[in-house]
Structure 1
Amino acid sequence: HSFISKVWKSSLSCLITLSPSLCLLKCKEGHSGPTYESLQTVIDRKYFRPAVNLSNPTISNISFTLYAVLGVDEKAQILTTFLWLRLYWVHEFLVWDPEECEGVTKISLPVKDLWSPDIIVYDVDDDVSQQCPYVYVNHTGHIRYDRMLRLVSSCNLEIFNFPFDIQNCSFTFGSYMHTSKGYTMAPLHHEMSENSKKYLEASGEWELVIIQGEPGILKFGIDEWDIITFWVVIKRQPVLYVVNLLIPSTFLMVIDILSFYLPPHSVDRASFKMTLILGYTVFLLIMNDLLPSTANGTPIIGIYFSVCLALMVISLLETVLITNILHSMKCHDVPRWVQVLVLGYIARLICYTQDPPDRPEGDSAMPPPLEAPAQIVNGRNAPTPIPRIPELAQISADLRLMRTHLASVQKESVLHEQWCHVGYILDFMLFRTYILIISMYAFVIICMWCIWYRQ
């Protein structure tokens, strides 16, 4: 009780008369600034809000400079930043006349000896703050307090457009104890974004777009707290990921596309595609450390890599199918549904106009079998009997065998040409599909890059 009475006796005149002249700090001649005794009176009141009229809330301005984005953990949805927080408020008992204090307009005092607002960040998981031991006090009572903060805050990170993603995270500042009746806050936007952009230019992966502050009210029951929410919009620099992810993947896909120019019936084509798939699998394993992943979604670039791997596997299966068709199905007729579906609809759909190679004219028809000359018997034609000579009979049998063999070879050649035609159409269809998907992907990537560049 004696401590409280001692504190408030010195300011009793201020509370009763509300006269600013009675609340001025005293200065002695020969001293540069307020005297120790007058400052000690203010220090004794450090546990009380510095307001002459307690019904008037203390107004504080808040701003910060974003120095660096230390880390972004997409899986844990955590953003780690380093910023310099700056607070401004008015201490109504720290006022003096510079003319009486030899022109001194600003002094520094220990922050532990003065009242300071209890500002906290609501959406922070870890706060590693480096306290500044002093505050700067102006002769009008305006105080500036700087704090360096390393914040580990939660943020709803959207990674669908990775690596051309733009993140919008928030920092909510507010008082822990004082309600809006005793303490209010207001954002100070002056050069906040410009200073932060200047420091983030050399930070590497992230670039600042804008910082915007919006005051608000937090209600718990009948009490209300003043809060300020700062929206920090940052965008990723995609050059690193384009060089390390997109360009190698594009090279492998181009090589796989060029492999379609190898003959479909060649065994080397299948082994070449298997080597490409093995190389692409190793690339995906290396890429897994650079590609973000969350339980909420998968980036579009990850979907593209999966589609590319699936297309490579499909192209290998298509090569195996064509090889099987060209080596195993050449003795069977082409089914009717294959002719209608592949040779009819698919060929017209992909604008395939190449005809199968023509057969030599000598193989187009076989010579007719030998027949005996005819003679007229009783006005009718009748075959002339041929005398049975053993040598001629053996020659005739050999000719029949040769004719049967040539006919089977000719039929096998025709079937082989038909199945080759089917295989070429299927191969050309997958080749067109490859070209279409790669073109669409390149168009999407270019559009995303342009959108990222304009924002």
Structure 2
Amino acid sequence: MTCMSGQLKMNVIIHARMNLFIIGCSCLCVGFAGASETERRLHQKLFENYNMKVRPAAYWEEKVMVRVGMTLSQLVSLNEKNEEMTTNVFMNLAWTDYRLSWNPEDFDNIQVLRIPAIKVWRPDIYLINNNDGQFDVALYVNVLVYSDGTVNWLPPAIYRSSCSIEVSYFPFDWQNCSMIFRSYTYDASEVELQYFLDDEGKEIQEIVIDENAFTENGEWAICHKPSRKNIKEDLYEDITFYLIIQRKPLFYIINIILPCVLTSVLAIFVFYLPPGAGEKMTLSISVLIALTVFMLLLADRVPETSLGIPIIVNYVLFTMILVTFSVILSVVVLNLHHRTPSTHIMPTWVRKVFIHFLPKYIGMTRPNPEEPLLEEESSEDSPIRGLNGRQPGGEYFFRKINPDLVAPWRGRCESTVQLQRLPDTNSYCLILPPNLKSAISAVTYMAEQLKKQDMDDTWKMSAYIGDNIITAVAMYQGLWMSCAFQSTGQVQCKIYDSILQLDSSLQATRALMIVGIIVSVAGLGVACMGMKCTTCGGNEKLRKSRIAMTGGIILLVGGLCAIVACSWFAHNVIRAFYNPYTPVNTKFEFGAAIFIAWGGSLLDVLGGAMLAASCPRKKQVSKYPSMAPPRSGPPSSTKEYV
């Protein structure tokens, strides 16, 4: 019996718990059903006589205020070629529809409803300057309707708007792209556009960027994002959102600008190749083709407009002109280099310009300077001609002939002058012995070859000068290094490799200059110790003056050392300049550095002399007592002055 009673109690408890669970679920279902029913009744009440095509105005003259804002999610791209900006945004639209208001207390305190956007009146605000014909938003999300009739709509959209591209400073440019929103059918008397409000009730007069949801663009950086309300003459209002963006030029610097600069540098080295090298043309044309490829790449990036030319295009175009000019010069140089006296006769103006005029201005000299040009003598007074009618070496031979060689034949030949006046035949050689005839033939051949070689060297010299017009070099030599300044703007400096290999005078000059600098610095320190405003060396005036005088003497010694060093170096330069055995291209003149050194040394000597001349003077003590005690104040009356 006890077991049966216990089992009965357990069954009763289990059934009671199940009944309570069923009752609770039923209550919840009834509550949800009640809430859903309340929302359904509210929805039915709001849209009972609602017409979504009618403007929500209580009377005809009333304006419907629509607040417009924009939240930027991503700046997708800016296509400069098509002048199109693609953005991913969320539009913020808010207005008041008095027909959609209710009393929350009558509907279980419901404050907000989510209603499909296609069932309520919406302001037809679209993007005016779209570039693909898509005026509307991307997705019609639900609108939020509040109990006071306020309607909020936040649809997402992907806009492709037109943007006028300014390419003058590409790739260091910035662009001002605008997005214009306006109502298509309602003017300012029916729909008034205003800025969207933030949580504090203030107008948002710019594009909102949510830092948590915003995706940064890799090519463009957003600098400013203002907005402005405009009223047109036709009473249509619009709100324009501006995106002022700046390009990130790192990609173009690495992929376009640096290769262009390096290619331009290669064009300079064309003139360092020998004039006879055919690789000059190969290198020049290769550089020209590379620049053409870069020009095509740039033309594919910038829009096809004539309103402006990018600065990088101007740079590439100027470089192409320079390379084209170098190709023309290379052709001229190769043509001059391969000319010979047998094919071309050098004009007089070419000889004067390229042989006598230009070399002294671009630092080039010939090993054997050419003698002044002489007019050719007439055929009647010309020297005797050689075999086969060629210009012989007999002229040079008979001018320097030893009279003893022709002494045995004085009876048949009166003088060498008469030999030169013999007819232009080969018979004049018959009066000479065979060994002398062979010597004359050899000298004639040598003279012709030397003259031909001289003409070849002249053509090559003119080719070299034409090749070095653009690459003149100025050499500067100092105490510690030598530098080469090229006309192309390049500077190359090299420190002397070994001190022991230097000239003894240069070593002594460097030593004097170093000693002068060290002594001057030491003298400056001692002179600073002697200043009245310092506490070094005590505060006694006499001691301070002596310290300052000592510093001046040290400065004087340092300045003299520097002057001696500069003067010694200048003496060596002058002596080498006026030495006739010094090659012209190794003669140096005074540079700006030596004048600066002289000026600094003189200032050092002047300052040291001024300090050294300020000798301390002992205070003179009067042997007689003073007649009256010193006054402590001004006289009280005019009688005290007497």
TM-score with structure 2 setting the length: 0.53
Range with greater deviation from structure 2 (162-171 or 415-424): 415-424
More strand by share: 1
The answer for the alignment partner of 1:399 in structure 2 is 443
Q: Aligned partners of 1:316 and 1:200: how far apart in 2?
A: 53
Number of the residue aligned with 2:89: 83
Partner of 1:209: 223
Structure 2 gap segments, 5+ residues each: 1-34, 197-202, 371-395, 408-413, 420-430, 474-484, 491-642
Change (3 A) 1:282 1:170: closer
Deviations 1:285-315 (A, max 9, x none): 5x26752231335433233333333332322
State the partner residue of 1:39. Answer: 46
Asked whether the 8 Å contact 2:354–2:466 carries over to 1, the reply is no
Counterpart in 1 of 2:283?
A: 272
Runs of at least 5 residues in structure 1 that lack an aligned partner in the other structure: 1-27, 376-381, 437-455
1:379-390 paired onto structure 2 within 5 Å = 383=415, 388-390=432-434
Using CA pairs under 8 Å that are at least 6 residues apart, name the structure with larger relative contact order, 1 or 2. Answer: 1
Superposed counterparts of 1:153-232, under 5 Å: 153-188=161-196, 190=204, 192-195=206-209, 201-220=215-234, 224-232=235-243
SS, match of residue 144 in structure 2: strand
Structure 1 residues 201 and 151: alpha-carbon distance in aligned structure 2, compared to 1, 3 A threshold: closer
**What is the rounded CA distance, in whole Å, between the counterparts of 1:230 and 1:338 in structure 2?**
71
Structure 2 SS opposite 1:328: coil
Task: Determine the C-alpha separation between the residues in 2 that align with 1:338 and 1:392.
Answer: 37
1:120 to 126, 131, 141: 126
Following superposition, the deviation at residue 185 of structure 1 comes to 0.1
Q: Which residue of 1 aligns with 2:639?
A: none
Which SS does the other structure have where 1:86 is aligned?
Answer: strand
Paired residues in the alignment total: 390
Say yes or no: does 1:58 pair with 2:64.
yes
1:317 aligned to which of 328, 332, 356: 328
Once the 2 structures are TM-superposed, how far is the Cα of residue 38 of structure 1 from its aligned partner? Answer: 3.1
Is residue 174–residue 246 contact of structure 2 (8 Å, CA) maintained in 1?
yes
Contact in 2 for aligned 1:109/1:136 (Cα 8 Å):
yes
Residues in 2 aligned to 1:71 and 1:32: alpha-carbon distance in whole angstroms: 44
CA distance in 1, matches of 2:208, 2:54: 36
| CA distance in structure 1 between the partners assigned to 2:397 and 2:369 by the alignment | 15
Letter in structure 2 aligned against 1:142:
T
Q: Which amino acid aligns with 1:147?
A: P
Answer whether contact 2:186 2:236 (CA < 8 A) is retained: yes
User: Is 2:363 the counterpart of 1:354?
Assistant: yes
Question: By how many angstroms is 1:174 displaced?
Answer: 1.5
Shift of 1:425: 1.8
Residues 223 and 245 in structure 2, CA contact (< 8 A), matched pair in contact too? yes
Deviation by residue 1:126-154 (Cα, 9 ceiling, x = unmatched): 21632323111233322211222222333
What is residue 152 of structure 1 aligned with on the other side? 160
Q: Specify whether residues 434 and 67 from structure 1 end up closer, same or farther in structure 2 by C-alpha distance, changes over 3 A only.
A: farther
CA RMSD of aligned residues (A): 4.0
Measured after TM superposition, the shift of residue 404 of structure 1 is 3.9
Give the structure 1 partner of residue 533 of structure 2. none
Counting aligned pairs with the same residue, the percent is: 22
Question: Counterpart of 1:178 in 2: which secondary structure?
Answer: coil
SS at match of 1:359: coil
Answer yes or no: is the 8 Å Cα contact 1:277–1:313 preserved in 2.
yes
Please list the CA deviations of residues 85-122 of structure 1 after superposition, one character each: whole Å capped at 9, or x if unmatched: 11011222333444555554332222222222111222
1:336 to 349, 357, 365: 349
Q: Secondary structure at the match of 2:99?
A: coil
How far apart, CA to CA, are the structure 2 residues paired with 1:292 and 1:52?
A: 53
Deviates more, 1:318-327 or 1:201-210: 201-210
Question: Please, which moves more after superposition, 383-392 or 117-126?
Answer: 383-392
Distance in 2, matches of 1:280 and 1:267, equals 21
Which residue pairs with 2:271 in the alignment?
A: 260
Separation in 1 of the partners of 2:186 and 2:77? Answer: 33
Question: What amino acid is the match of 1:358?
Answer: P
Alpha carbons 1:334, 1:419 under 8 Å: kept: no
Question: What TM-score comes out, normalization by structure 1 length?
Answer: 0.72
Query: By how many angstroms is 1:34 displaced?
Result: 7.7
Answer yes or no: is the 8 Å Cα contact 1:342–1:422 preserved in 2: no
Amino acid corresponding to residue 251 of structure 1 in structure 2: L
Whether contact under 8 Å (1:119, 1:173) holds in the other structure is yes
Measured against aligned partners, the alpha-carbon deviations of 1:316-354 in whole angstroms (never above 9, x if no partner) come to 22122112122216764464378459975x789xxx542
Larger gyration radius, structure 1 or structure 2: 2
